[in-house]
Amino acid sequence: MQEFDSSDVARLRTGLAVALRAAAHHGLAEGVCNHFSIELPDASGRFLLNPRGLLWSEVQADDVVMVDAQGRQLAGRHPVEPTAMFIHAAVHRLCRQACVLHTHMPYATALALTGQGALDTTLSQNAMRFHERVAVDRTYNGLALDSGEGERIARAMQGRDVAFLGNHGVIVCGARIDHAYDDLYYLERACTHEVLARSTGLPLRQADPALARRVCEQTMGERLQSELFFEALARTV
């Protein structure tokens, strides 16, 4: 497919590969499981996805595959993992999200296993960037091996760009790969801080929700730091 090698698609494939290698570098990967995807900017519903069977640390741009809105593989030299197609196809289609990052990263997943179900966005400064951006899906139905479960997860996100999946993991979405990866990284940092703070057994200091909302607005209003971070990762991972 000639389009698969176009300059625009090649740029997205490169960015997706950088995000995957960065996630491995930051300890956010889990074996050869979990998935990152980015939609093509042509309103076709097609998207790029990491292949089945490769460690995130080894993924290069030419390993990335292309699938359609139904999750069917269109291009690429590697197979695609089934749950990736069902979850990502549904989130792209129903949530209108360009970039979808799904991980079982340790500290965020740990909070997804609790009765609280997610991080407290009034605790650390890192957590406040996610204030009023988080959905909690408390239903777990096993592996997402059909389109119905992928669509259920997408609807449970309720238009939010961060979702904690009960007994499972997290999804982080964004309009761009660099912004979404920055959010994924800082989500795990925020969850790490909360788990460590709770492990002390000491009382926690929650900020006023209005302040948390303002910190979120400040962070989302200026994403240059996110872009510089991703550029640094592209140079080093």
**CATH no. for residue 48?**
3.40.225.10
By the 8 A CB rule, do 111 and 188 touch?
no
Contact yes or no for 134/166 (Cβ under 8 A): no
Domain of 199 in residue numbering reads as 2-236
Please state the domain count of the chain. 1
Nearest to 16 by CA among 182, 183, 177: 177
pLDDT, tens only, 174-228: 999 999 999 999 999 999 999 999 999 999 999 999 999 999 999 999 999 999 9
Q: 88 with 157: CB under 8 angstroms?
A: no
The string of pLDDT tens digits covering residues 143-159 is 998 889 999 999 999 99
Contact 130, 123 (CB under 8 A): no
**Which of the 8 DSSP states describes residue 54?**
-
Q: Under a CB-based contact definition with an 8 Å cutoff, are residues 31 and 14 in contact?
A: no
- pLDDT, tens digit (0-9, with 9 covering 90-100), for 24-78: 999 999 999 999 999 998 888 899 999 999 999 999 999 999 999 887 899 999 9
pLDDT at 2 over 90: no
